[in-house]
Amino acid sequence: MSDRLRLGVNIDHVATIRNARGGDHPDPVRAAQIVASVGGDGITAHLREDRRHIRDDDLKRIQQATDLPLNLEMAATEEMLAIALAHKPHAACIVPEKREERTTEGGLDAAGLHNSLVPLVDRLREASIRVSLFIEANEAQLDAAIRLGVPVVEFHTGEYAHACLDGDGERVERELKRISDMAALAVKNGIEPHAGHGLTYENVQPIAAIPQLAELNIGHYLVGEAVFVGLEEAVRRMRELMDDAR
Protein backbone atom coordinates (compact mmCIF):
# COMPACT_ATOMS: atom_id res chain seq x y z
CA MET A 1 0.00 0.00 0.00
CA SER A 2 1.37 3.41 -0.96
CA ASP A 3 2.46 5.82 1.74
CA ARG A 4 0.66 8.71 0.09
CA LEU A 5 -2.60 9.31 1.88
CA ARG A 6 -5.12 10.76 -0.57
CA LEU A 7 -7.25 13.76 0.40
CA GLY A 8 -10.77 13.85 -0.96
CA VAL A 9 -12.42 17.20 -0.36
CA ASN A 10 -16.13 17.17 0.35
CA ILE A 11 -17.64 20.34 -1.12
CA ASP A 12 -21.21 19.85 0.14
CA HIS A 13 -21.15 22.84 2.42
CA VAL A 14 -20.11 25.27 -0.28
CA ALA A 15 -23.51 24.34 -1.71
CA THR A 16 -25.10 24.82 1.74
CA ILE A 17 -23.98 28.46 1.70
CA ARG A 18 -25.12 28.89 -1.90
CA ASN A 19 -28.54 27.44 -1.14
CA ALA A 20 -29.01 29.75 1.85
CA ARG A 21 -29.79 32.52 -0.65
CA GLY A 22 -31.17 30.42 -3.46
CA GLY A 23 -28.76 31.75 -6.08
CA ASP A 24 -25.59 30.50 -7.76
CA HIS A 25 -22.93 31.81 -5.38
CA PRO A 26 -20.70 30.35 -4.01
CA ASP A 27 -20.53 27.68 -6.70
CA PRO A 28 -19.30 24.22 -5.58
CA VAL A 29 -17.84 23.83 -9.08
CA ARG A 30 -15.45 26.69 -8.41
CA ALA A 31 -14.52 24.96 -5.14
CA ALA A 32 -13.80 21.74 -7.04
CA GLN A 33 -11.55 23.64 -9.45
CA ILE A 34 -9.63 25.20 -6.57
CA VAL A 35 -9.22 21.78 -4.93
CA ALA A 36 -7.81 20.47 -8.22
CA SER A 37 -5.44 23.42 -8.56
CA VAL A 38 -4.00 22.89 -5.09
CA GLY A 39 -3.37 19.16 -5.45
CA GLY A 40 -6.46 17.62 -3.86
CA ASP A 41 -6.89 14.01 -4.89
CA GLY A 42 -10.63 13.87 -5.32
CA ILE A 43 -13.98 15.55 -4.87
CA THR A 44 -16.63 14.09 -2.60
CA ALA A 45 -20.25 15.18 -2.88
CA HIS A 46 -23.29 13.84 -1.05
CA LEU A 47 -26.51 14.14 -3.02
CA ARG A 48 -29.03 13.97 -0.20
CA GLU A 49 -32.61 12.95 -0.73
CA ASP A 50 -33.72 16.42 0.42
CA ARG A 51 -31.09 18.18 -1.78
CA ARG A 52 -30.15 20.38 1.17
CA HIS A 53 -26.74 21.09 -0.35
CA ILE A 54 -25.51 19.38 -3.54
CA ARG A 55 -28.14 19.29 -6.29
CA ASP A 56 -28.50 17.00 -9.25
CA ASP A 57 -27.14 19.49 -11.79
CA ASP A 58 -24.03 20.07 -9.66
CA LEU A 59 -22.83 16.53 -10.29
CA LYS A 60 -22.54 16.91 -14.05
CA ARG A 61 -21.02 20.37 -13.74
CA ILE A 62 -18.39 19.10 -11.28
CA GLN A 63 -17.54 16.19 -13.58
CA GLN A 64 -17.21 18.54 -16.57
CA ALA A 65 -15.15 21.14 -14.73
CA THR A 66 -12.37 18.97 -13.27
CA ASP A 67 -10.52 15.74 -14.00
CA LEU A 68 -10.47 14.82 -10.33
CA PRO A 69 -12.24 11.57 -9.47
CA LEU A 70 -15.73 12.16 -8.09
CA ASN A 71 -16.81 10.17 -5.04
CA LEU A 72 -20.59 10.33 -4.97
CA GLU A 73 -22.07 9.71 -1.53
CA MET A 74 -25.52 8.24 -1.88
CA ALA A 75 -28.26 6.57 0.10
CA ALA A 76 -29.17 3.01 -0.84
CA THR A 77 -32.25 3.92 -2.84
CA GLU A 78 -33.45 3.26 -6.39
CA GLU A 79 -33.50 7.01 -7.05
CA MET A 80 -29.84 7.42 -6.11
CA LEU A 81 -28.84 4.27 -7.96
CA ALA A 82 -30.37 5.65 -11.16
CA ILE A 83 -28.52 8.95 -10.68
CA ALA A 84 -25.21 7.14 -10.05
CA LEU A 85 -25.67 4.97 -13.14
CA ALA A 86 -26.47 8.05 -15.24
CA HIS A 87 -23.41 10.01 -14.03
CA LYS A 88 -20.93 7.14 -13.62
CA PRO A 89 -18.77 8.78 -10.93
CA HIS A 90 -15.37 7.23 -10.22
CA ALA A 91 -16.72 5.96 -6.89
CA ALA A 92 -20.03 5.65 -5.10
CA CYS A 93 -20.00 5.56 -1.33
CA ILE A 94 -23.21 4.17 0.13
CA VAL A 95 -24.13 6.10 3.25
CA PRO A 96 -27.02 5.91 5.72
CA GLU A 97 -29.43 8.81 5.49
CA LYS A 98 -32.19 10.17 7.65
CA ARG A 99 -34.05 13.19 6.41
CA GLU A 100 -34.30 14.74 9.88
CA GLU A 101 -30.64 14.30 10.85
CA ARG A 102 -28.30 17.25 11.03
CA THR A 103 -25.44 15.25 9.57
CA THR A 104 -24.64 11.61 8.84
CA GLU A 105 -25.02 9.97 12.23
CA GLY A 106 -23.17 6.68 12.41
CA GLY A 107 -22.28 4.26 9.68
CA LEU A 108 -24.37 2.26 7.26
CA ASP A 109 -25.78 -0.95 8.77
CA ALA A 110 -24.26 -3.09 6.02
CA ALA A 111 -24.74 -6.21 8.13
CA GLY A 112 -28.47 -5.65 8.69
CA LEU A 113 -29.09 -4.44 5.14
CA HIS A 114 -26.91 -7.05 3.48
CA ASN A 115 -29.59 -8.67 1.30
CA SER A 116 -31.00 -5.40 0.02
CA LEU A 117 -27.50 -4.08 -0.69
CA VAL A 118 -26.51 -7.04 -2.90
CA PRO A 119 -28.39 -5.92 -6.06
CA LEU A 120 -27.42 -2.27 -5.54
CA VAL A 121 -23.73 -3.07 -5.16
CA ASP A 122 -23.90 -5.43 -8.15
CA ARG A 123 -25.45 -2.80 -10.42
CA LEU A 124 -22.86 -0.19 -9.45
CA ARG A 125 -20.05 -2.70 -9.93
CA GLU A 126 -21.40 -3.73 -13.36
CA ALA A 127 -21.23 -0.04 -14.33
CA SER A 128 -17.52 -0.01 -13.31
CA ILE A 129 -18.20 2.34 -10.41
CA ARG A 130 -15.93 1.72 -7.45
CA VAL A 131 -18.26 0.91 -4.58
CA SER A 132 -17.52 1.97 -1.05
CA LEU A 133 -19.52 1.52 2.15
CA PHE A 134 -19.49 4.21 4.85
CA ILE A 135 -19.45 2.01 7.95
CA GLU A 136 -18.53 2.00 11.61
CA ALA A 137 -15.17 0.37 12.23
CA ASN A 138 -16.30 -2.94 13.70
CA GLU A 139 -16.03 -6.58 12.69
CA ALA A 140 -19.72 -7.13 11.94
CA GLN A 141 -19.81 -4.28 9.43
CA LEU A 142 -16.47 -5.14 7.89
CA ASP A 143 -17.55 -8.75 7.54
CA ALA A 144 -20.67 -7.58 5.67
CA ALA A 145 -18.46 -5.48 3.37
CA ILE A 146 -16.30 -8.53 2.69
CA ARG A 147 -19.38 -10.63 1.88
CA LEU A 148 -20.67 -7.91 -0.42
CA GLY A 149 -17.32 -7.93 -2.23
CA VAL A 150 -16.83 -4.15 -2.19
CA PRO A 151 -13.32 -2.86 -2.96
CA VAL A 152 -13.47 0.03 -0.46
CA VAL A 153 -14.85 0.89 2.96
CA GLU A 154 -14.83 4.32 4.57
CA PHE A 155 -14.76 4.27 8.35
CA HIS A 156 -16.97 6.87 10.03
CA THR A 157 -14.71 8.93 12.30
CA GLY A 158 -17.56 10.88 13.93
CA GLU A 159 -17.30 9.15 17.29
CA TYR A 160 -13.53 9.76 17.30
CA ALA A 161 -14.12 13.45 16.49
CA HIS A 162 -16.67 13.75 19.32
CA ALA A 163 -14.26 12.12 21.77
CA CYS A 164 -11.59 14.64 20.74
CA LEU A 165 -14.01 17.55 21.25
CA ASP A 166 -14.95 16.19 24.68
CA GLY A 167 -11.26 15.94 25.59
CA ASP A 168 -11.85 12.32 26.60
CA GLY A 169 -8.42 10.76 26.09
CA GLU A 170 -9.50 7.22 26.90
CA ARG A 171 -12.32 7.30 24.33
CA VAL A 172 -9.99 8.87 21.77
CA GLU A 173 -7.53 6.00 22.21
CA ARG A 174 -10.31 3.43 22.05
CA GLU A 175 -11.66 4.93 18.83
CA LEU A 176 -8.21 5.11 17.27
CA LYS A 177 -7.55 1.47 18.10
CA ARG A 178 -10.91 0.42 16.67
CA ILE A 179 -10.22 2.24 13.39
CA SER A 180 -6.63 1.09 13.22
CA ASP A 181 -7.51 -2.58 13.90
CA MET A 182 -10.30 -2.57 11.32
CA ALA A 183 -8.09 -0.81 8.74
CA ALA A 184 -5.54 -3.61 9.14
CA LEU A 185 -8.26 -6.26 8.87
CA ALA A 186 -9.70 -4.58 5.77
CA VAL A 187 -6.34 -4.65 4.00
CA LYS A 188 -5.87 -8.28 5.00
CA ASN A 189 -9.13 -9.01 3.22
CA GLY A 190 -8.25 -7.07 0.08
CA ILE A 191 -10.37 -4.01 0.91
CA GLU A 192 -8.97 -0.48 0.69
CA PRO A 193 -9.83 1.43 3.88
CA HIS A 194 -10.70 5.13 3.87
CA ALA A 195 -11.89 7.33 6.74
CA GLY A 196 -13.78 10.54 7.26
CA HIS A 197 -16.32 12.67 9.08
CA GLY A 198 -15.65 15.47 11.53
CA LEU A 199 -11.93 15.64 10.82
CA THR A 200 -10.16 18.93 11.55
CA TYR A 201 -6.62 20.36 11.74
CA GLU A 202 -6.66 19.42 15.44
CA ASN A 203 -7.71 15.79 15.17
CA VAL A 204 -6.55 14.64 11.73
CA GLN A 205 -3.00 13.54 12.51
CA PRO A 206 -3.60 10.40 14.63
CA ILE A 207 -6.02 9.19 11.93
CA ALA A 208 -3.62 10.09 9.12
CA ALA A 209 -0.89 8.15 10.92
CA ILE A 210 -2.80 4.86 10.55
CA PRO A 211 -0.64 3.35 7.83
CA GLN A 212 -3.30 1.22 6.12
CA LEU A 213 -5.63 4.14 5.40
CA ALA A 214 -5.47 5.16 1.75
CA GLU A 215 -7.81 8.17 1.72
CA LEU A 216 -9.43 10.71 4.00
CA ASN A 217 -12.57 12.58 3.03
CA ILE A 218 -12.88 15.95 4.72
CA GLY A 219 -15.46 18.65 4.12
CA HIS A 220 -17.27 20.69 6.72
CA TYR A 221 -14.16 21.87 8.55
CA LEU A 222 -12.32 22.79 5.36
CA VAL A 223 -15.23 24.85 4.06
CA GLY A 224 -15.52 26.57 7.44
CA GLU A 225 -11.81 27.30 7.52
CA ALA A 226 -11.94 28.56 3.94
CA VAL A 227 -14.14 31.42 5.14
CA PHE A 228 -11.12 32.73 7.06
CA VAL A 229 -8.09 31.69 5.02
CA GLY A 230 -9.46 30.70 1.62
CA LEU A 231 -10.07 27.19 0.32
CA GLU A 232 -6.66 26.92 -1.28
CA GLU A 233 -4.85 27.61 2.00
CA ALA A 234 -7.22 25.37 4.00
CA VAL A 235 -6.60 22.39 1.70
CA ARG A 236 -2.87 23.10 1.59
CA ARG A 237 -2.64 23.15 5.41
CA MET A 238 -4.68 19.94 5.77
CA ARG A 239 -2.41 18.27 3.19
CA GLU A 240 0.65 19.38 5.13
CA LEU A 241 -0.71 17.99 8.42
CA MET A 242 -1.56 14.68 6.75
CA ASP A 243 1.89 14.39 5.18
CA ASP A 244 3.61 15.24 8.47
CA ALA A 245 1.67 12.47 10.22
CA ARG A 246 3.02 9.78 7.89
Ligand X SMILES: CC(=O)[C@@H](O)[C@H](O)COP(=O)(O)O
Ligand Y SMILES: NCC(=O)COP(=O)(O)O
Binding site for ligand X (CB under 6 A): 10, 12, 46, 48, 73, 95, 103-104, 134, 197, 219-220
Who's near 33: CB < 8 A, 6+ residues apart?
A: 65, 66
Choose among ligand X, ligand Y, none what residue 110 binds, the Cβ cut-off being 5 to 8 Å by kind. Answer: none
Assess whether 46 carries a catalytic annotation. Answer: yes
CB neighbourhood size of 243 (10 A): 13
β pairing state of 6-10 and 215-218: parallel
Assess whether 197 carries a catalytic annotation. Answer: yes
**What is the four-CA torsion angle of 233, 6, 81, 45, rounded to 10 degrees?**
-10
Query: Which residues here bind ligand Y, judged by CB under 6 A?
Result: 10, 44, 134, 154, 196-199, 217-221
109 is in an annotated binding site: no
| Residue from 97, 192, 197, 215 carrying the catalytic annotation | 197
**Residues 36 and 222 sit within 8 Å (Cβ to Cβ):** no
Cβ 34 to ligand X, closest distance in Å? 18
DSSP code for 51: -
Assess whether 114 carries a catalytic annotation. Answer: no
Choose among ligand Y, ligand X, none what residue 221 binds, the Cβ cut-off being 5 to 8 Å by kind. Answer: ligand Y
CB neighbourhood size of 190 (10 A): 9
Nearest to 50 by CA among 30, 79, 23: 79
Of 1 and 165, the one with the shorter C-beta distance to ligand X is 165
Choose among ligand Y, ligand X, none what residue 37 binds, the Cβ cut-off being 5 to 8 Å by kind. Answer: none
Of 74 and 115, the one with the shorter C-beta distance to ligand Y is 74
Q: What are the catalytic residues? A: 46, 73, 197
Q: Which residues define the annotated binding site for 1-deoxy-D-xylulose 5-phosphate?
A: 12-13, 48, 53, 103
